[in-house]
Copies of this chain bind each other. A is one copy, B any other.
């Protein structure tokens, strides 16, 4: 993105920007994951074809609902779909045909061009938790999230080596009016971080505000020609596309911005209890949604989403890190690749109330599954707690640390001459040890992933230091990171223009809290 870089420098360029640059702390962000390992293909060709055929049957015979959206119904009619009331039945092959214009991968630009990401292909982009109304930390317990919490999460994401993306609603800032909080959230992502971020989907007008703020940040022409936001448009499974989400999608697609089109499924409630049945419904829903985005603007980036949990049949609670959710996630990845679409699924999912062992088992199950399933965009990749009701500060840095494991796994196995290490084996020989050998000395710095959170100290040292569990160690890391945060530089003119935009918008309407 040299063009974005040049544009911003040309526009700012003053002494203030240069001073900011000199004092900025260098924050290390790993490049998005480029997998050098195979995807895990759980479905055979026969199963894939059955599911694909069944999904076409669902679209053609059962259909989907586009609710409170006459324009959408008219668009479908124009495309040759059978529209009856709000029900849209899509003839076999039509959705698949429409989807062909959607790109198999796209670049989402960040204002720092080094942090732009390529979504699709063999890549995986990691973004933090999205949506919780509550936050939790060890000191403050569980409480409604505020804008101050939101800002802290944006800072933590900015400082995380393994997060490539700043995310969107990292928590709901409940102290800001509902009709204005998207402005503050976007402002935080744009000014407290320089990683790519997400736009608002809670109302079409807020999607439009998101586009306009990006036009200030990136330049109007740049936004029309490039993708600078990815946004999460959920489908109300089963097979219902509501007007708010679709209204936001229409805004984003029209402006060439990316949409994750994502069934939201608690298995057994919003989809059949079987894996194959769930995959059929997921595929039908995504095909309808992506096809619709391509009707709005052929070529607009769209991501095959699948948010999948299973259910505790006793309580009805969604459950995470379960085998059934993993099987759906693997299968949906295959279906997405066969459609030629980037794939969004998995995350730091758990049902636990605390960042304890349950949380970590469930999260690790989900994260590993996400890597192996070929996920291209992993929303919720850190900080998720209690079924998504809570964004947890300690878990945020604990999970973010584990994302380093995914980076290490994705590297795969080198087998060049240095990696073969035959000289080392000859040098050390039977009964020796490798700690001091030449090959180890030359390679140890890059050889092993290193945790920034987990405890590897001897037992006695650990005990002397207070016998802290992971959560207690993470509390210290959260405090350390926030104390050392330094804001990335931003052209003061742009900053001022963004502030003006937000102030004007806020002044233009009364507060609304619902």
Interface residues of A (CB under 8 A from B): 37-38, 40-43, 46-47, 50-51, 54, 57-58, 61-65, 87, 142, 236, 238-240, 267-281, 310-317, 319, 321-324, 326-327, 331, 351-365, 368-369, 372, 386, 389, 395, 398, 402, 404-409, 411-415, 418-422, 424-426, 428-435, 439-440, 443-445, 447-451, 453-459, 462-463, 467, 469-471
Contacts and interface: CB of A to CB of B under 8 A. Distances in A.
Counting chain B CB atoms within 10 Å of each CB, the highest count among A421, A429, A435 belongs to A421
Contacts of A372: 40, 372
B361 A421 contact: no
Contacts of A431: 65, 236, 238-240
19 contacts: A46-B415, A236-B431, A238-B432, A238-B434, A269-B433, A274-B418, A274-B420, A274-B421, A276-B419, A277-B425, A312-B456, A315-B456, A315-B457, A351-B454, A353-B455, A353-B462, A358-B360, A361-B454, A368-B369
Nearest to A424: B272
Contacts of A428: 238
Contact of A456 (B351, B357, B429): B351
Contacts of A435: 268-269, 316
Tell me the number of copies of this protein: 2
Given A236-B431, A414-B276, A455-B358, A448 B64 contact: no
A429 B360 contact: no
Contacts of A351: 454-456
A230 B450 CA distance: 35
Interface centre among A268, A368, A433 (most CB of B within 10 A): A268
A195 to B, nearest CB: 23
Nearest to A356: B469
Contacts of A364: 321, 360-361, 363-365, 368
